[in-house]
Chain A
Amino acid sequence: MNKKRAMALLLTGVLTAGMTGGTCLEVKAEDKPVELSFYMMNSPVNDQERIMEKANEIIEEKIGAHLNLIMVDGSSYAEKMNLMINSGDAWDLCFTASWGGLNFYENAQKGAYADLTELLPKLAPETYSRVPEGLWDGVTVDDKIYASVNYQQWGAASRSGFKFRKDLADETGFDWASLKGKPTLEILNATGDFIGKALEAHPEMIGWETSANYSLFANSPLHWDMEEVGDVATPGWIRYDDPGTVINQFDTEEFMEFCKIMRDWYDKGYVRKDGATVKDTSPDRKAAKFIAEQTTGWPDSIDFEGNADAEKMSMCTADIAPAVAVSNTRTVIKAGAGANAAVAVSSQSPNIEKAVELIELLNTDDELYMLITQGEEGTDYVYGEDGTSTLVDGKYNFNFNEWQLGQSYSPEFTRARYDNNESGEKQKESQSIVFAADKEADVSPLSGFVFDPSPVKTQIANCSSVITEMVPALSSGSIDPEKSVPEFIKRLEGAGVNDIIAEKQAQLDAWSAES
């Protein structure tokens, strides 16, 4: 009896202590600015304290909040965020996306993210209005918006193409301009001839990049006039010509032809012999070794002369590796474009409204955004005599991850570091072409559709292990496609590829019947 009473007393004691503790905290919160944590993916940054102190002066004055920006390394970010969500750990805002294991759709369905459908137009009106309507579909699950889209300075519509070394094209008389708008297979065939001639004169170079990470077929459906349904790495794409039918992208003529070309290039020595296992190709790129490459940037060299990005090979400067670019695909806003880069608010956050206010502030206060993403002018970056801006070595450097924090696009081009000269103007001009096109681009037939992979989880896991084993080998030409492609398809069927495609088809049919 006594024991029980003591227990009850103790419990009440603990409860009241807990309650009073709670109220104490609330009183304190009103005096101090609201603490908001924002998780993002970034490598370590120098001088972060100095910049964040200045940034927080602005944030505290404008909305009475204190931003705690937490940077997690790219390689562990996805795992860490998912773990925090699953264990109910506290966070307020985070960068999210639908690629690289970040699982935007899954987490949104789970209820990890706060519903922003009403809050965004109310508390972040300018952020909301700046983004093209179609992009909001990409972050909408069950008619609710779960994240704020980071509209990037590179636009939302995709158009892919190819880049060639300009000096070598001139040298060999390669007519790259005639390839504009041609199907990818035709371009690859023409590129093969070009690479052959160029390699004869420059045997130390490499014709085409192959790696374990990236396959021109498996990672780039747009090049093949197709689009992924759900995650790009899973089987089941659609053709733009026949958007109602889900197909196995590996069981197509295009894939077979692509593998044959790569095999031919492998035999002729146009690609690295160890392409199937190479993970890091940046040394080859930096050394300007590639003769031709794929590109996702546009406008190309025909549409707009002077686009600085089109005039150099990837990771090189224009003086060591001058390039020309042609785009050959349609211009389309893909279904996943909205969830390509977005900021979500935790549904468990006690300050959801403040968090949305912070999103608006980050997206509309250019001074604040530039401070966090570029540092201070004169200290962290300087303009040279010719107006070219450069980062100062060893100072604050956001590692070009500004696109995770908020919109890097603004109609006045005041949210990125442009050169104060002609080339800066050119860059703005080329980007305004992209934004104009965003308004007219085709909208993906899948826009608004979200595939729920949970019914076929096992099959997807089985298939992806087959894919990660076979696709790098086939895409780098190291195995003979005549024999291996049918074998690959057979193994996919054994792993349940048909279930995945049937499931995608069923969900797609149900969705199109509804809308």
Chain B
Amino acid sequence: MTKKKNHILSKSIVHIIFIAASLICILPLILVIGVSFTDENSLMMSGYHFIPKVFSLDAYKYVFTGATSVIRAYAVTIFVTAAGTFLHLLFMSMLAYALTREEVTARNKISLFVYIPVLFSGGLVPYYMLMTRYLHLKNTIWVLILVQLVSATNVLIMKNFFRNIPQSLIESARIDGSGEFRTFFSIVLPLSTPSLASIGLFVAIAYWNDWMTCSLYIETPKLHTLQYLLQSLMNNIGYLQANAGASHSMEQAILTLPSEGARMATCVLAIGPIIFLYPFLQKYFAKGLTIGAVKE
């Protein structure tokens, strides 16, 4: 009897903790959505509310018609995320696969070449010089994709996964007359879908959330990504206010920045699509997390 009671007690404590944790995650999100649908005047006079006191779609109207073209930014971000994730998976898995094949005699040296950047990085200035002066990628959409094309960590994970694929399978494919590419695309890759899906999800999120690359290399507003717009919306006001002493025009400049509601609306739009990727790929998630960690 007491055992059962204890059980219920501990269970409910655990539940309360997790409910609290989920609320901490979800409430701010709901608040942001609430604010984005609130009329600007009521926002200034009575502050934030979960349920808008005066409902208004003005913020969204502003976001879709204003100078910061959210729709274009959407297109850029979706293209970069889709193309980037596909190319990343392709190149990363081809590299990882080659590094597991014994036929590649230089595989240890190449591996070293892959792993060195994990430990050492050149720093921001050389990185910037490489991109702008040698690769001439400044202000092109490709810079948003190429910069993150291969991740050494992901190569490591994939390599461990490919090792688990029985050698005999690849050998028998060869005996049956399959070339290296065919073996890779028709036999190895289909066996790797769970790991590809979970790495793909991480990569997609990284591409979706990347604003740093855009802020460094992109100069035409046409190529701005969604997260970059969001980032600058959030930071501009503070920067301008802190330096308002420099010019009287600065105060007016602050007035032209998007209102609170518009900033929240951009927020909602920026998290929108990527949130739907989670439930869609969740079934691969748990499997994916143990990839490379457990050897059978």
Residues of chain A touching chain B, judged by Cβ–Cβ distance below 8 Å, are: 43-46, 48, 70-76, 79-80, 83-84, 86-89, 97, 99-100, 152, 154, 211, 213-214, 219-220, 279-284, 286-287, 296-297, 309, 314-315, 340-341, 394, 397, 399-403, 408
Contacts and interface: CB of A to CB of B under 8 A. Distances in A.
B273 interface: no
Interface in B20-77: 43-45, 65-69
Contacts of A43: 67-68, 232, 236, 253, 256-257
Given A43-B236, A87-B125, A397-B256, A154 B247 contact: yes
B67 A340 contact: no
B132 A87 contact: yes
30 contacts: A43-B68, A43-B253, A44-B224, A45-B221, A73-B235, A74-B232, A74-B239, A80-B215, A87-B126, A87-B133, A89-B132, A100-B246, A152-B248, A154-B249, A211-B241, A213-B242, A214-B242, A280-B237, A286-B44, A286-B255, A287-B44, A296-B248, A315-B254, A340-B247, A394-B65, A394-B66, A397-B67, A397-B256, A400-B250, A401-B249
Contacts of A70: 219
B284 interface: no
Contact of B260 (A71, A73, A283): A283
Contacts of B117: none
Contacts of A79: 215
Contact of B248 (A71, A287, A297): A297
A99 B219 contact: no
Contacts of A89: 128-129, 132-133, 138
Contacts of A279: 237-238, 241
A74 B236 contact: yes
Interface residues of B, number: 47
A43 B252 CA distance: 13
Contacts of B65: 394
Contacts of B249: 152, 154, 400-403, 408
B243 interface: yes
A131 to B, nearest CB: 16
Interface in B57-102: 65-69
Given A75-B239, A80-B215, A87 B129 contact: yes
A219 B243 CA distance: 9
Contact of A282 (B68, B129, B237): B237
B216 A309 contact: no
Interface in B205-264: 215-216, 219, 221, 224, 231-232, 235-257, 260
B124 interface: yes
A152 B247 contact: yes
Interface string B273-292: 00000000000000000000
Contacts of A83: 124-125, 128, 216
A44 B221 contact: yes
A436 to B, nearest CB: 18
A309 B241 CA distance: 18
Contacts of A394: 65-66
Nearest to B47: A283
Given A74-B235, A76-B235, 8 more contacts: A43-B68, A43-B232, A75-B238, A88-B129, A280-B238, A282-B254, A282-B257, A314-B251
Contact of B253 (A84, A213, A399): A399
Contacts of A71: 221
Nearest to A77: B239
| Residue with the greatest number of chain B CB neighbours at <10 A, chosen from A74, A287, A297 | A74
B67 A44 contact: yes
A397 B45 CA distance: 28
Given A152-B247, A401-B249, A73 B129 contact: no
A439 to B, nearest CB: 20
A-B CB proximity, top 7 nearest: A75-B235, A73-B232, A287-B44, A400-B252, A213-B242, A100-B243, A46-B67
Contacts of B247: 152, 154, 340-341, 403
B246 A341 contact: yes
A315 B255 contact: yes
Given A76-B215, A87-B132, A280-B238, A99 B246 contact: yes
A243 to B, nearest CB: 21
A44 B44 CA distance: 25
Given A220-B245, A341-B246, A401-B249, A213 B238 contact: yes
Nearest to A75: B235
A88 B231 CA distance: 26
Contacts of A315: 251, 254-255
A356 B244 CA distance: 28
Contact of A75 (B236, B245, B246, B256): B236
Nearest to A46: B67
B174 to A, nearest CB: 37
A88 B133 contact: yes
Nearest to B218: A72
Interface string B129-154: 10011000010000000000000000
A419 to B, nearest CB: 15
A172 to B, nearest CB: 23
Given A43-B257, A220-B245, A100 B239 contact: yes
A394 B236 CA distance: 20
Contacts of B221: 44-45, 48, 71
A71 B252 CA distance: 18
Nearest to B238: A279
A97 B128 CA distance: 23
A249 B261 CA distance: 40
A100 B126 CA distance: 24
Nearest to A39: B219
Contact of A100 (B133, B224, B242): B242
Contact of A99 (B132, B231, B243): B243
A400 B219 contact: no
Interface centre among B43, B66, B235, B253 (most CB of A within 10 A): B253
B40 to A, nearest CB: 9
A340 B219 CA distance: 25
B238 A400 contact: no
